[in-house]
């Protein structure tokens, strides 16, 4: 497995990954929650999307960018047939490395309360819940994790 920056040529694979990864939650979703191709294309061009791939295909992706003082993870998605193989954890570890590379010391994200597996997934990887809010027809659960450079 390798992690690399996405290119516009990867757009169809990214859209497919997002569609499959979030399909179980589609009934709880609204139009504003769906990532249109234009938004993904924009994130690719900005260098915000990174892919985890094997030799043949895109298996998952992470969309992230620095804010004033932390890294923000917008999306983490893995093809369902590749769940529970550590790919999401590898993408989060990539986010940690990018955070340190940019001189930042925390990572934040949010997920939907209805995505119960995500709540446990992030907690097991060191993220602490920092708040909740209702809006747009669903409850967001916010998480943050401090990142520290390891001593040499």
Give Cβ neighbours of residue 129 (< 8 Å, ≥ 6 apart).
119, 123, 141, 142, 143
- Spell 124-146 as b/e; 16+ CB within 10 A means b: eeebeeeeeeeeeebeebebbbe
97 inside domain: yes
Stretches in the chain below the pLDDT threshold 50 = 28-31, 33-34
Please give the tally of structural domains in the chain: 1
152 inside domain: no
> Phi and psi (nearest 5°) for 86?
85, 5
pLDDT of residue 25: 65
CATH code of 96's domain: 3.40.630.30
59 inside domain: yes
pLDDT of residue 72: 97
Q: What is the pTM of this model?
A: 0.87
83 inside domain: yes
151 inside domain: no
pLDDT of residue 28: 47
93 inside domain: yes
What residue numbers bound the domain in which 25 lies? 2-146
């Amino acid at each position: 497995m390798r992690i690399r920056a996405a290119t516009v040529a990867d757009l169809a694979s990214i859209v497919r990954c997002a569609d499959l990864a979030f399909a179980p939650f589609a009934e709880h979703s609204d139009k504003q929650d769906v990532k249109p191709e234009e938004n993904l294309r924009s994130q690719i061009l900005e260098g915000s999307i990174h892919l985890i791939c094997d030799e043949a295909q895109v298996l998952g992706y992470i969309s992230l960018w620095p804010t004033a003082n932390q890294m923000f993870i917008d999306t983490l998605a893995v093809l369902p047939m590749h769940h529970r193989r550590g790919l999401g954890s590898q993408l989060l570890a990539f986010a940690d490395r990018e955070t340190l590379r940019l001189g930042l010391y925390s990572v934040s994200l949010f997920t939907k309360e209805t995505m119960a597996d995500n709540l446990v997934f992030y907690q097991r990887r060191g993220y602490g819940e920092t708040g909740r809010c209702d809006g747009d027809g669903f409850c967001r659960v916010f998480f943050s994790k401090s990142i520290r450079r390891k001593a040499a």
